[in-house]
Structure 1
Amino acid sequence: MKARRYPLGLQTFSGIIQGGYVYVDKTDLVWELAQYSKYVFMSRPRRFGKSLLTSTIESYFLGEKQLFEGLKIMSLENDWEQHPVLHFDLSGCKHLPVKGVKDELLRLLSKFEEQYGTNPVETTPGMKLAGLIERAFTQTGKQVVVLIDEYDAPLLDVLHDETALAAVREVMQEFYQRLKMQEPYIRFCFITGITKFSQLSIFSTINNLTNVTMDAKFGTICGITEQELVTALKTDVEMLAAKYEISFEEMQQKLKLQYDGYCFTEKSEDIYNPYSLLKAFQQQKVASYWFESGTPTFLIRQLLHFGTDITSLDKLEVPAIAFDQPTEAMSSALPLLYQSGYLTIKDYDRESDIYTLSIPNQEVRIGYADGLLPVYTGLVGGEVQAGFALKFWRALKQADVDLAMREMQAYMAAIPYVEGFKKKLAEAANAEGFYEYTMYLIFSMLNVYVRTQVKCAGGRVDMVVTMPDTIYVFELKVNGTAQEALAQIDDNSYAIPYQTDARKIVKVGVKFNPTSRVPESWVVSF
């Protein structure tokens, strides 16, 4: 069998097609998008193929028909009309001061000025953009396509610095506001990024900008669907299953738990993270790849800035206005967590107009914990995994809860409690919620699926931990005994919802010592 080539690190459609790389055909949706509206905005998380989508749109409008042979778009497009395309990737504007942002915009514009000429009266990025659009239209006789990728890159690092944000925003507004003024010369304008900054003039002055971020028609345009996994990527799943010596169906389920679960619209099907999925095929290993460059610092800053409790993120019921707010108007980290892919839509109730948001999958859950462990405990995720994790994991796998809890007792006693953790402890006082938070981070770091405050008919169980062969139901007490905690599980039928599951159910009551901050005693019932 010919070796499969995966387009990791490649963001150009032409490079992928000409290089014979694996490509999941989205060209029918690209065609639909190009006909949908003149001005289009779409946000998607990082590493979800926004740049590849933008490049595919570019090749389509350049009339590069030969690149699309055999793809879905061939049955939809007949004319293949060529247009001048101005494509700007603003990722180079990250981490730059306001002058650096302006200089980078001028550098990007200069490439097109070599093609379409300059005008000495054009001195600002916006003036140059307007002039380029007009000259491109005049010289070719065709309306112009403007593509702006990662439009919000200059702004994320200065989100809570009002002075810096205002200065950068002023430069970006002057650039974007020209797009509406040039409407007669524009055939299509596509803007993409991670977040939504409403005070930028792309939202305030382009009043006909169509936001398709939550449009069900384009819900799967970035990402891999289950159907695509078992058809276009069937060979790749088979090869990975053979490596793990498991069945195709078992590998499919393994990949689903790790990388699936993203949903960006009310009714869209779930999709897989394309980067992580392809990386798993390339490396022949199911692991966490989305966070391999580390949890984004801007995300950690937002979680700390708003005092976000990540144990509450497993199931949030919120109206759309709560998570689809403009980034600069956030009163919590929720909008950014959703827009950047750390939360996703799991359900929607049309009658109440309420969305249920949750962490998408195991990969994201581990990434949260890995990023937050150093912040709250001073420990690095790798150190936890190298020391405590293996012993704890083996104990749980063997259903030796007593040994596992003794390992956790020793681990928690060694936590140095850095400033952030002390603050969390002070806020929580003797509440069981503090220990839920601590255990949640530990379980998540160990690649164990854990949920807190799980609703059931009898109330809310503190914690449910799901292992391949076992489901653990935990009840935690500070003011009370381990026996009382176990009795609460039985009295309120917390374990009943899991009785139809083929896995073993283990009930655990835990008593925490508020002085030593460790599990003091525990009782187990099988």
Structure 2
Amino acid sequence: DILLFLTNDREYRPYWWSTGNPTFLIDLLREQRRYLPDLENFIADDIVLDTFDVDHIDLVALLWQTGYLTFAGKQESLDGIEYRMKIPNKEIQISLNNLFMQYLTNLGHDLRYRKKGLYQALCQTDMEEVRLNLSALFSSIPYQHYANKIIQNYEGYYASVVYAYLASLGLRLIPEDTTNKGRVDLTIILPDKVYVIEFKVDQPGKALEQVREKGYHEKYQAAESTVYLIGMSFDSGEKNITDFAYEKI
């Protein structure tokens, strides 16, 4: 917000975000069971975007009408114009995903320190710390979230939680990263390294095997960055990581 910027000695902070912090967005995200990474490339038409029935509002329409999503491009279709959506900037990416993490977990102010630890572990390629950090994250999700069936036993839920956690760090992420051999669940791009990640539920040992066999990482081998493959398997009973395997290419 430009007025807050001017009245606070021109200090750069997320003023836009602080003027409105609606937890009802997260409630809607939960109710409609949206896959968080899809918000970055969601395709919507005029019918979806122009609808504002408060009792049956589509999450994407609400995010667009409130400024949390904007247009990345548009294209003609048989039914009219379609729009590809994106999150406007890093400020909103960090804040929206941080809100989701605060809502979902029981960490409170500890979330900030957990995030710092994960960022350092990724930068230093401390894979054991990455595993421990992510396991602790899922352990911090209160029981009532399971009891209320917020958590579904499907891969998209776990991928959404990991994605939101990483996105709240402001990292460059590519969800559903497309290659000539298929799509990998998530790619993290750092200045000197790339992490290619595959998620599975109740299939220990399969995630890393799939990344390796499909060659999802090959598109990054021409770059100067070091490439790491990560396979994570979650147990739907324990609601946590039960298999975390990785290798350097």
TM-score category of the 2 structures, normalised to the smaller one: 0.7 to 0.9
- Give per-residue Cα distances to partners, 1:58-77, cap 9 Å, x unaligned: xxxxxxxxxxxxxxxxxxxx
Question: What's the counterpart of residue 435 of structure 1?
Answer: 158
Residue 419 (structure 1) aligned to one of 135, 141, 145? 145
* Structure number with higher relative contact order (C-alpha < 8 Å, ≥ 6 residues apart): 2
Say whether the 8 Å CA contact 1:366–1:446 is kept in structure 2. Answer: yes
Say whether the 8 Å CA contact 1:376–1:418 is kept in structure 2. Answer: no
Q: Please say if 1:491 is aligned against 2:213.
A: yes
Note the 1:444-463 alignment, pairs <5 A.
444-463=167-186
Question: What's the counterpart of residue 290 of structure 1?
Answer: 16
TM-score normalised by length of structure 1: 0.42
Decide which structure has the larger Cα Rg and report it: 1
- State the secondary structure of the residue aligned to 2:186: strand
Q: Give the distance between the partners of 2:207 and 2:59, measured in 1 at CA.
A: 33
Q: Give the distance between the partners of 2:188 and 2:221, measured in 1 at CA.
A: 15
Structure in which a larger fraction of residues adopt helix: 1
Q: Please list every run of at least 4 consecutive aligned residues from structure 1 whose deviation after the TM superposition is greater than 6 angstroms.
A: 278-281
Structure in which a larger fraction of residues adopt strand: 2
Say whether the 8 Å CA contact 1:464–1:473 is kept in structure 2. Answer: yes
| Structure 1 letter corresponding to 2:111 | V
Say whether the 8 Å CA contact 1:362–1:449 is kept in structure 2. Answer: no
Q: Give the distance between the partners of 2:231 and 2:38, measured in 1 at CA.
A: 21
Distance 1:332 1:510, change over 3 A: same
Say whether the 8 Å CA contact 2:102–2:111 is kept in structure 1. Answer: no
Q: Please say if 1:359 is aligned against 2:81.
A: no
- Give per-residue Cα distances to partners, 1:176-221, cap 9 Å, x unaligned: xxxxxxxxxxxxxxxxxxxxxxxxxxxxxxxxxxxxxxxxxxxxxx
- State the secondary structure of the residue aligned to 2:157: helix
Q: Please say if 1:513 is aligned against 2:240.
A: no
Identity of aligned residues (%): 25
Note the 1:104-123 alignment, pairs <5 A.
none
- State the secondary structure of the residue aligned to 1:295: coil
Distance 1:518 1:420, change over 3 A: closer
Distance 1:359 1:7, change over 3 A: closer
Note the 1:93-492 alignment, pairs <5 A.
282-283=10-11, 288-293=14-19, 295-328=21-54, 330-350=56-76, 353-380=81-108, 382-386=109-113, 388-419=114-145, 422-425=148-151, 428-429=152-153, 431-482=154-205, 484-492=206-214
Q: Give the distance between the partners of 2:103 and 2:41, measured in 1 at CA.
A: 24
- Give per-residue Cα distances to partners, 1:312-348, cap 9 Å, x unaligned: 2121123232223345485412211112121111122
Matched pairs, number: 246
Q: Give the distance between the partners of 1:349 and 1:442, measured in 2 at CA.
A: 32
Structure 2, gaps ≥5 residues long: none
Cα displacement (A) at 1:384? 0.4
| Structure 2 letter corresponding to 1:508 | I
Say whether the 8 Å CA contact 1:375–1:420 is kept in structure 2. Answer: no
Q: Give the distance between the partners of 1:452 and 1:280, measured in 2 at CA.
A: 36
Q: Give the distance between the partners of 2:93 and 2:30, measured in 1 at CA.
A: 17
Distance 1:496 1:419, change over 3 A: same
Q: Give the distance between the partners of 1:279 and 1:314, measured in 2 at CA.
A: 33
The 10-residue stretch of structure 1 (436-445 or 511-520) with the greater mean CA deviation from structure 2: 511-520
Q: Give the distance between the partners of 2:135 and 2:246, measured in 1 at CA.
A: 16
Distance 1:282 1:468, change over 3 A: farther
